[in-house]
Chains A and B, each alone.
Chain A
């Protein structure tokens, strides 16, 4: 399976990772090689096989809807790149 520059641009946008113009071809080539490896899966007929999402077929454990955590906002925000007044600061989103 061969990916083109345009495919990489699209995927990079979905993944929110900037890929420079100059890197696009190289990334397309690397990803195509990985997809060639992955294509080996087509050798097997999986008609009717249940997909296995969890090794032990566990289901989500539930707990009571009660507050169990302590407010540590200051501690957690102290490591933020930019925070103030209990808010994480980012460039303006809404005009």
Chain B
């Protein structure tokens, strides 16, 4: 089995046994990136020197009998995480020149765990998008069909993992940006409970929704990565002061009697029959594994998209106010006065979708409109959360499709922003409620990956990973290899 097909545990074993060194492993992936990434554009920055330096340090630790499960393992970071000394662009012209002067907590924790960073992955600009087509650095292509999108906004990370250009990668999810690309690229991704993973150094889009998480080829690998990423951080005022369980320890737990809730709103006539059939195949497998399927209702879930497109733009308009051409990032040429400096730097630095969202957010928060839009949205957000709370009184986990479609063609949905927004119809509610949610591969449709989404109760990441792992032990859908990975 080639090195890039091995799991994190298998690689850790090989590294420990001296069968391969981290430097060799890292070169293997850097080589693959060199050969394959021009067709995918999954990476914005490849940090070869830094990677090899970390790999050598990892080899030293391993030789001394030290290190943990991630020591020497090559990963990639979504270019939204500040990495000290490395360009951190957020997929935007605004930050094309920004060399981060510090490490995000997620980056520091993974560095501490000994992971080797191959580079920074491409993404929708400022995490705003569902196709990775809004990036200043050009779109990412889906390793399953390079004429199609990988999903977004963590499209680069998804494509890199699927194409075996990195063992695993970090992503972020504000409205589905880990889960939807995981679904489109056939990989396993988890958005943890809000507050589980520190947002310090993770460039902010919508502060009450953003959450960083792992993207990998299996629940087992995702568990290993999440273990290192999760935990309380005093530097993030929204960080949860809750101990992190051992995610790997409970992966094999028996799921007999697990109650799986199926929201009737997610399985209506709007869901294409072939995707519904694929989801059903996975649900049948869960029944075989001893789970009980229960129909539930999330009546306010149909309002997720409108609510999100008030809350997220409102919060982004505030967060992106810091990009003003003064302290970092893009500045326009020859500003006439301060107002000109701000207006032109921002007009030039931001792409169309980002500007649209800032403008809508500004409008929603402006005098006279705050009650009608932002306040109303936060009230409905409460109702959506209540729907979940009630549902979790009857079931342990909620399942459904991650996306209403498989990967669409590049350029297909760029004409009307609202068409693109509807992609997030199943994923957004979990962000609004702050609940943990995962996407795992189920049988492909038309040769393209399909994702099964599972939502858990607050801080139930261990349970979700366990439920996902049991499916992956019984099936092989998550092992499929895309053409681009050859």
Contacts and interface: CB of A to CB of B under 8 A. Distances in A.
B360 interface: yes
Interface string B311-325: 000000100010011
A17 B355 contact: yes
A46 B338 contact: no
A16 B339 contact: yes
A72 to B, nearest CB: 7
A94 to B, nearest CB: 10
A41 B421 contact: no
A35 B350 CA distance: 21
A8 B309 contact: no
Contact of B375 (A51, A58, A76): A51
Given A14-B366, A81-B325, A54 B343 contact: no
B313 to A, nearest CB: 8
A14 B364 CA distance: 12
Interface stretch (B120-128, B380-388, B440-448): B380-388
B303 A40 contact: yes
B234 A35 contact: no
Nearest to B432: A55
A47 B220 CA distance: 45
A44 interface: yes
A33 interface: yes
Contacts of A55: 194-195, 208, 385, 432-435
Contacts of A3: 363
The interface size bin for chain A is 35 or more
Interface stretch (B158-166, B329-337, B390-398, B467-475): B329-337
Contacts, number: 164
B360 A34 contact: yes
Contacts of A16: 321, 324, 339, 342-343, 346
Given A51-B378, A81-B331, A56 B418 contact: no
A91 interface: yes
Task: With a 10 A CB-CB cut-off, give which of B234, B347, B433 has the most chain A CB atoms.
Answer: B347
Interface string B417-429: 1100100000000
Nearest to B302: A40
DSSP class of A's interface residues: helix, strand, loop or mixed? loop
B418 A46 contact: no
Given A37-B421, A55-B385, A31 B355 contact: no
DSSP class of B's interface residues: helix, strand, loop or mixed? helix
B268 interface: no
B331 A79 contact: no
A88 B376 contact: no
Contact of B326 (A19, A53, A88): A88
A34 B343 CA distance: 23
Interface string A62-95: 0100000000100111111110000010111100
B379 A51 contact: yes
B349 to A, nearest CB: 10
A39 B341 CA distance: 35
B326 A81 contact: yes
The interface size bin for chain B is 35 or more
A52 B378 contact: yes
Contacts of B375: 51
A35 B458 CA distance: 32
Contact of B373 (A7, A38, A63): A38
Contacts of A50: 379, 382
A79 B350 CA distance: 19
Contacts of B305: 37
A62 to B, nearest CB: 9
B358 interface: yes
A76 B101 contact: yes
Interface in B138-172: none
Contacts of A7: 363
Given A49-B379, A51-B375, A52-B378, A31 B360 contact: yes
A72 B100 CA distance: 13
Task: With a 10 A CB-CB cut-off, give which of A34, A36, A61 has the most chain B CB atoms.
Answer: A34
Contact of B382 (A27, A51, A80, A90): A51
B343 A33 contact: no
B98 interface: yes
B270 to A, nearest CB: 15
A11 B366 contact: yes
Contacts of A34: 309, 356, 360, 417-418, 421
Given A3-B363, A88-B327, 17 more contacts: A11-B366, A12-B359, A17-B347, A34-B417, A37-B309, A38-B373, A39-B306, A46-B380, A51-B379, A52-B378, A52-B385, A53-B208, A63-B234, A80-B327, A81-B328, A81-B329, A93-B338
15 contacts: A15-B359, A16-B343, A19-B347, A31-B360, A37-B306, A38-B310, A41-B306, A41-B307, A41-B377, A46-B379, A56-B458, A58-B238, A72-B101, A81-B326, A91-B338
Report, nearest first, the 5 A-B pairs whose CB atoms are least far apart: A55-B434, A51-B378, A81-B331, A52-B382, A46-B379
